[in-house]
Amino acid sequence: MTGETLVTMLRSARALTRLLVDDLTDEQMRAPRLAILNPPLWEIGHVAWFQERWNLRHQAQRRPLRADADALFDSAAVAHDTRWDLLLPSRGDVLDYLARVVDQTCERLVDPKRPPTEADLYFAQLALFHEDMHGEALAYTRQTLALPAPQARRDAPAEAASRTAPGFGSGPLPGDVDIPGGPFMLGAVPTKSFVFDNEKWAHPVTVKPFRIARAAVTQAEFAEFVEAGGYRRRELWSDDGWKWRDSAHADHPVYWKREPSGRWLRRYFDRWIELADHLPAIHVNWFEADAFCRWRGRRLATEAEWELAASGSPSGRGNLGWRFDDTQDVAAFPDGDSAFGCRQMLGNVWEWTASDFGPYPGFVADPYAEYSAPWFTGHKVLRGGCFVTQPRLLRNTWRNFYTPDRRDVWAGFRSCAR
């Protein structure tokens, strides 16, 4: 990775961040107080602060560009539910802060008098991937608040206009593939490529032979579960899942509603649209995914099983990075099949696994110590990315993690035979 390459990526990430907020009103930038999101104005200030902290203050030993930056935008020090009470700078001031930080970071990376060090490149990538993750968070904030879909596909290829392009693939993809199991190295192998601390390092596990679905569960399949009374059948739910179902008064996915005619609709940002039979179920939490699997006499994959099933994925480009402005049919993108024949293991929807999020053997926190270690209790692992995830962020070993009650993220699942 060169400084010039990183500059291009950093500029691209910053342009997308701006696209995700530039059309929002000042009121929308402050957002209502909800436990599952941040005020967008605070979020973009935090993105700037994080990049400044690691690239300018840590690496270049520069003084803060804002004297109040730590008090306002340090996520480890500023409690989540207090972020609405802060006296945040004006929108213009925060956008100026964003611009100055990225400009100075990029100038350092291509300074002919001082080539970037390995540490400079590492921390620039850390800030880049951090911004990519917050870009995804801004997208699901817009979904949560029923705001219009962002115009994020400004540079999308022409093929995005057609879901029937040659070789694209459409429709369902039923059936399982047989995974032979055996010894497997779970986690990232040490290389010069950037990886996060929770992926370190590859260690031997033994996976029993298993069968996993070729594709993610579809909206049509999940609608069958809803119609069969799946949300009312106690025997399908774990104890914690049933408590969540009661407290949330849940009887269908969060962004679904039934018309008087009986037809189901789902909310896509600010628009209600019909369910699409072959698109993946999305915005379902771990408890809902687990209950569906029990209803079908199946189960969620462990993350070791998921990583093994996803291994050998070719470089065929799937539904990532706003290539399309929504999920696509579960049979799409056959050129991205894993070595075992599983489709869309990378892209379209994040996939819940059965595994709790925890450290791998010998875990040592990286310099950004708050990234993983504080969340090793109470979270489930998700794998694979979704249609808004940037491709540069993902690897077969990349671990996402959320509490099992979260329905706002772009998450679905695939199942395994018991």
- 381 and 309, same structural domain? yes
- C-beta separation of 137 from 44 below 8 A: no
Strand order in the sheet with 400-402: 400-402, 380-383, 350-356, 411-412
Instruction: Name the token pair of 48.
Output: 């700037």
Instruction: Name the token pair of 132.
Output: 């990519």
* Domain assignment of residue 402, yes or no: yes
Q: How far apart are CA 161 and CA 152, in angstroms?
A: 14
* Domain assignment of residue 149, yes or no: no
Q: How far apart are CA 118 and CA 333, in angstroms?
A: 36
- 271 and 399, same structural domain? yes
Q: How far apart are CA 276 and CA 171, in angstroms?
A: 10
DSSP for 63-123, written as a single string: PPSSTTHHHHH-TTTS-GGGTTTS-PPPHHHHHHHHHHHHHHHHHHHT-TTSPPPHHHHHH
Instruction: Name the token pair of 317.
Output: 């480009």
Instruction: Name the token pair of 234.
Output: 């106690």
For 330, counting Cβ atoms within 10 Å of its Cβ (0-12 exposed, 13-18 middle, 19+ buried), the class is buried
* Domain assignment of residue 151, yes or no: no
Give the pLDDT of residue 310: 94
Domain that holds residue 365: 158-417
Q: What percent of the chain has pLDDT over 90?
A: 91
Give the pLDDT of residue 193: 87
- 192 and 289, same structural domain? yes
* Domain assignment of residue 208, yes or no: yes
- 236 and 122, same structural domain? no
- 135 and 96, same structural domain? yes
Domain C-terminal end among 117, 144, 171: 144
What are phi and psi for residue 179, nearest 5 degrees? Answer: -110, 120
- C-beta separation of 130 from 47 below 8 A: yes
What is the gyration radius of the CA atoms in the chain, in angstroms? 21
* Domain assignment of residue 120, yes or no: yes
Domain C-terminal end among 119, 144, 169: 144
Give the pLDDT of residue 312: 78
Domain C-terminal end among 103, 120, 144: 144
Q: How far apart are CA 96 and CA 62, in angstroms?
A: 18
- Domain of 17, CATH number, reads 1.20.120.450
- 103 and 24, same structural domain? yes
DSSP 56: I
What are phi and psi for residue 109, nearest 5 degrees? Answer: -75, -20
Whether the per-residue pLDDT at 163 is higher than 80: the answer is no
Q: How far apart are CA 326 and CA 163, in angstroms?
A: 11
* Domain assignment of residue 297, yes or no: yes
- 245 and 215, same structural domain? yes
Number of domains in the chain: 2
- 137 and 219, same structural domain? no
* Strand pairing category for 271-274 and 264-268: antiparallel
Whether the per-residue pLDDT at 77 is higher than 60: the answer is yes
- 173 and 124, same structural domain? no
The torsion of the CA quartet 317, 318, 322, 327, rounded to 10 degrees, works out to 160
Q: How far apart are CA 50 and CA 317, in angstroms?
A: 30
Q: What is the pLDDT of residues 380-406, one digit of tens each?
A: 999 999 999 999 999 889 999 999 999
Give the pLDDT of residue 313: 59
- C-beta separation of 320 from 347 below 8 A: yes
- Domain of 294, CATH number, reads 3.90.1580.10
- 203 and 128, same structural domain? no
- 340 and 229, same structural domain? yes
- C-beta separation of 300 from 415 below 8 A: yes
- C-beta separation of 339 from 312 below 8 A: yes
Average of per-residue pLDDT across 1-13: 97
- Give the type of residue at 58: H
pLDDT band at 154 (very low <50, low <70, confident <90, very high): very low
- pTM of the entire predicted model: 0.95
* Domain assignment of residue 152, yes or no: no
Q: How far apart are CA 104 and CA 126, in angstroms?
A: 16
Tokens 């199946």 found at:
298
Q: How far apart are CA 285 and CA 300, in angstroms?
A: 12
Q: What is the pLDDT of residues 242-290, one digit of tens each?
A: 999 999 999 999 999 999 999 999 999 999 999 999 999 999 999 999 9
Q: How far apart are CA 405 and CA 243, in angstroms?
A: 10
- C-beta separation of 365 from 340 below 8 A: no
- 378 and 284, same structural domain? yes
DSSP 301: P
Strand, coil or helix: 208: coil
- C-beta separation of 209 from 367 below 8 A: no
Give the pLDDT of residue 166: 37
Average of per-residue pLDDT across 124-146: 97
Q: What is the pLDDT of residues 327-377, one digit of tens each?
A: 999 999 998 899 999 999 999 999 999 999 999 999 999 999 999 999 999
Residue whose C-alpha is closest to residue 45's, from 59, 32, 64, 60:
64
Apex 62 CA angle, 56 and 63, nearest 5: 115
Whether the per-residue pLDDT at 156 is higher than 50: the answer is no
* Domain assignment of residue 257, yes or no: yes
pLDDT band at 318 (very low <50, low <70, confident <90, very high): confident
- C-beta separation of 327 from 280 below 8 A: yes
